């Protein structure tokens, strides 16, 4: 499974591609950051994020895109920019028919480090270890994008089984009402 992880942001949008399956060593395919100038117009910044993500999709051809689920922050301006960059990433994937998964920061931290309260240094250290890298990816947005991809690879099989079970349950429940 090849996954593009996206840590959304307007100034720095972390992107990272990881390949592998749960229970086996993972492979780093690529990592980077799509940057936009803070003084540029919002529309131009969103366009730059879109162009950057499209380049990553063209170059690496992921089967899935994992995006950090935007959560409430104290700074409304920051959360709005993050949400807009997140929407751009989802749109780019949807345009190509690539499934998108949203993962919360605590879910990603728990998957990669074992603790949903891990700090950025702990996430970076575990990403470095799991992908057998010489040093943690910089900036932290890049490491976070890789952590998102790793989280998705590890959690996708269980999530798929859960969705199938729910669909089966719903089908049986609906069938029982119509019989």
Q: Identify the three-state secondary structure at position 73.
A: coil
> Has residue 3 got a pLDDT over 70?
yes
pLDDT tens sequence across 128-171 = 999 999 999 999 999 999 999 999 999 876 665 666 666 677 77
CB neighbour burial string for 96-118, b if at least 16 within 10 angstroms, e if fewer: eebebbebebebbbbbbbeeeeb
Bridge partner residues of 33 (DSSP)? 14
* Euclidean distance between CA atoms 177 and 84, whole angstroms: 42
pLDDT band at residue 72, thresholds of 50, 70 and 90?
low
What tokens were used for 90?
A: 């989802």
The residues spanned by each domain of the chain are: 2-178
pLDDT of residue 160: 57
pLDDT at 96: 98
Q: What is the pLDDT of residues 13-50, one digit of tens each?
A: 999 999 999 989 999 999 999 999 999 999 999 999 99
CA atoms of 161 and 7, how far apart (whole Å) = 26
DSSP string computed for 75-131: -HHHHHHHHHHHHHHHHHHHHTT--EEEE-HHHHHHHHHS-TT--HHHHHHHHHHHT
Q: Tell which CATH architecture fits domain 2-178.
A: 2-Layer Sandwich (3.30)
Mean pLDDT, the chain, whole residue set: 91
Catalytic residues: 7, 68, 141
Are 16 and 31 in contact by the 8 Å Cβ rule? The answer is yes
What per-residue confidence (pLDDT) applies to 77?
Answer: 78
Rg (CA), the chain: 17
Instruction: Over range 107-126, report the average pLDDT.
Output: 95
**What is the C-alpha separation between 153 and 19, in angstroms, rounded?**
8
Largest CA distance in the chain: 62
pTM of the model: 0.88
What percentage of the chain reaches a pLDDT higher than 70? Answer: 90
Provide the pLDDT for residue 156: 78
């Amino acid at each position: 499974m090849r996954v593009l992880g996206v840590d959304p942001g307007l100034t720095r949008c972390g992107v990272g591609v990881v390949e592998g399956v749960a229970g086996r060593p993972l492979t780093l395919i690529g990592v980077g950051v799509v940057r936009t100038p803070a003084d540029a117009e919002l529309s131009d910044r969103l366009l730059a994020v879109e162009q950057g993500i499209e380049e990553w999709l063209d170059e690496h051809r992921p089967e899935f895109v994992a995006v950090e689920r935007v959560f409430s922050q104290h700074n409304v301006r920051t959360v709005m920019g993050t949400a807009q960059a997140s929407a751009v990433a989802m749109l780019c994937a949807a345009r190509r028919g690539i499934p998108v998964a949203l993962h919360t920061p605590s879910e990603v931290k728990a998957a990669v480090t074992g603790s949903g309260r891990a700090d950025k240094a702990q996430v970076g250290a575990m990403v470095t270890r799991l992908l057998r890298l010489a040093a943690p990816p910089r900036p932290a947005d890049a490491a976070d994008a890789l952590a998102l991809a790793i989280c998705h690879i590890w959690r996708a099989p269980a999530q798929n089984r859960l969705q199938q079970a729910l669909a089966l349950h719903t089908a049986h429940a609906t069938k029982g009402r119509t019989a």
